Amino acid sequence: MEFNAGKYHIAVIGAGHAGCEAALAGARLGMKTLIVALNLEAIAMLACNPSIGGTSKGHLVREVDALGGEMGINIDKSLIQIRMLNTGKGPAVHSLRAQADKHLYHREMKRTLENQENLTLIQGEVEEIRTRNGKVEAVKLATGQVYYCDAVVVASGVYLKSRIIIGEYTAESGPSGLYPARSLSRNLRDLGFTLYRFKTGTPARVNSRSLDFSKMIVQPGDPTLAPFSFMNDPIKIEQVPCYLTYTNEATHEIIRKNLHRSPLYSGVIEGVGARYCPSIEDKIVRFPEKKSHQIFLEPEGLYTNEYYVQGMSSSLPVDVQIEVYRTIPGMENVEIMRPAYAIEYDCIDSTQLKLSLESKEIKGLFFAGQINGSSGYEEAAAQGIMAGINAVQYLKNEEPLILDRSDAYIGVLIDDLATKGTPEPYRMMTSRAEYRLLLRQDNADLRLTEKGYKIGLVTEERYRRFMAKKEGIEKEEKRLKETIVPPSRENNEYLSSLGSTPIQSGILLYDLLKRPEIKYKDIIKLGNLSEEAGPAVQEQVEIQVKYEGYINKQIRQVEQFKKAENMRIPQDIDYDQITGLRLEAVQKLKAVQPMSIGQASRISGVSPADISVLMIYLEKRRRERKADGS
């Protein structure tokens, strides 16, 4: 029997990484917010790898943090190892990756939710989103509670009609044996949403007491622990190592002999998986020429013997998994504590969303995370904070916060999902970002903190810290532009020791820093300067000086991009009436309803010729309306 359980401004369905960020954003912006979790012990659960960040994903975490989100702060509380990836390449692709104590990560996020003002946390299953006159009205739980609300954020993760698959065994289940959400899929279909069936997977967890680490290659953390959150200084902890080992021909032969028992190839798995995160059996089939594949052993926490076997995602039967794992050096006597499995789940067609992540058809209904077809904790958190912010903007009857592709990786992520859709689980990659030299993880605060502050999510303390850094960069750049290094014997000897050409006349420190072999510390010595700037300021100054030419070139590209983004398309436009548009373009434009010429140009199936026709039509319409005085 149902009953009225209360009234909220925002109801968030799901308490994974998207749900946590959405709920915290809503509550911190002053809205009475409800978050409903299927299981309170699964809040912010690291259901797959026990880590946060990585290539491009580290950018997303830093961006969420710069906007005033929680993921960066939470991983800094719970990390046990941290490394900066891709340091052999340019700063555009540098990315932090931290190993987490997954249990501590969950506990700290749960504590944060429980103690957040304006936020109510409950356990239950939402089975229905109710609407009235095209607007959100309430959510109903399976146990009868009806919570009335003005906005809803669906952040249901991989739980919608989820099914785990291990060889011939299947069961209706969420990750790690948790309950699935059985009813919401039907409700979403009734509301008019197109649903897809996607698949992901996870490797086995093994007992560290059964591993021989002496046969593996130790993978230590970085000597200096750079934090994820811009609110934190370098972290000091005793780090826990990871270990590297490899598959071999014996591993591959066992997998090949058992492919007929793999649900991937027997037809048991129906969902579409991600190309960029293949199972071990998929790797063997797709890359037969490879003699070995990297395997990383990653600790799940400080107070557990469980290790995550990175690189061995699989849905093979358990007996095959054991046989396969025991061919790997250091794992000859491995004991599997939790077998690898594949998981299928329902998600929506993300092109049914606006760039604000609100439904195009139902006002006040927002979606974030894997329900939108993305994969990964970081992608989920990024969508979560934007959905939470925009739910508040909707309730205030104010314009949504929309980050475009030149603003942030978050903008690239959401634009890809809403404009192009995704035929498989979407994973963020640096190659997806056209302006990645500007969208570095080190300058996420410089790009986004001001926006978060204007919205009201960035605290005064965070804003003061941001302004101090910004002013420090300006001051330091000014100092380098005003300080001249003379061509003294001592200076030239030092330059020669660095493999740099001696100077014949005085040169500005700013220009000297442009030399590839010269580092910031060298500039300080050559200029006989005090080291006034902190590490974050030094990093920014060095990057901006060394890459000035490339950065300026990309800024000019962004200016061209912005012109197309600023050419708005009226939402009342009738594409059927535009002569010259191809039928496919008409269908795609009607489905996506682009906000600008720029967005329209990125829709699959809309050609440059279609864009030209559309621009001519819009200019003609503008002139006619101007002539009519409307």
pLDDT in tens, 247-258: 999 999 999 999
Q: What is the pLDDT of residue 628?
A: 76
Give the rounded percent of residues in the chain with a pLDDT score beyond 70: 100
Q: Is the pLDDT of residue 274 over 80?
A: no
H/E segment holding residue 244 = strand 242-246
Q: How far apart are CA 136 and CA 139, in angstroms?
A: 9
pLDDT digit string (tens) for 35-73? 999 999 999 999 999 999 999 999 999 999 999 999 999
Q: How far apart are CA 106 and CA 76, in angstroms?
A: 13
Q: Is the pLDDT of residue 624 over 90?
A: no
Q: CB-based burial of residue 493 (10 Å sphere; 0-12 exposed, 13-18 middle, 19+ buried)? A: exposed
Report the predicted TM-score, pTM, of the whole model to 2 decimal places: 0.95
Mention every residue, 6+ apart, whose C-beta is less than 8 A from residue 492.
Answer: 502, 503
Residue type at 264? L
Q: What is the pLDDT of residue 269?
A: 81
Q: Are 370 and 19 in contact (CB under 8 A)?
A: no
pLDDT digit string (tens) for 192-241? 999 999 999 999 999 999 999 999 999 999 998 899 999 998 889 999 99
Task: Report the chain's mean pLDDT, rounded to a whole number.
Answer: 95
- Return phi, psi of residue 170, to 5°: -135, 150
In angstroms, how far is the first alpha carbon of the chain from the final one?
54
Closest CA to 141 of 125, 159, 156: 125
What is the phi-psi region of residue 161: left when phi exceeds 0, alpha when psi lies from -120 to 50, beta otherwise?
left
The stretch 383-412 carries a mean pLDDT of 98
pLDDT digit string (tens) for 117-163? 999 999 999 999 999 999 999 999 999 999 999 999 999 999 999 99
Q: What is the pLDDT of residue 530?
A: 76
Mention every residue, 6+ apart, whose C-beta is less than 8 A from residue 412.
Answer: 405, 428, 432, 433, 434, 439
pLDDT digit string (tens) for 283-302? 999 999 999 999 999 999 99
Q: Is the pLDDT of residue 338 over 90?
A: yes
Tokens matching residue 1: 């029997």
Q: What is the pLDDT of residue 47?
A: 95
The stretch 568-597 carries a mean pLDDT of 92
pLDDT digit string (tens) for 474-497? 999 999 999 999 999 999 999 999
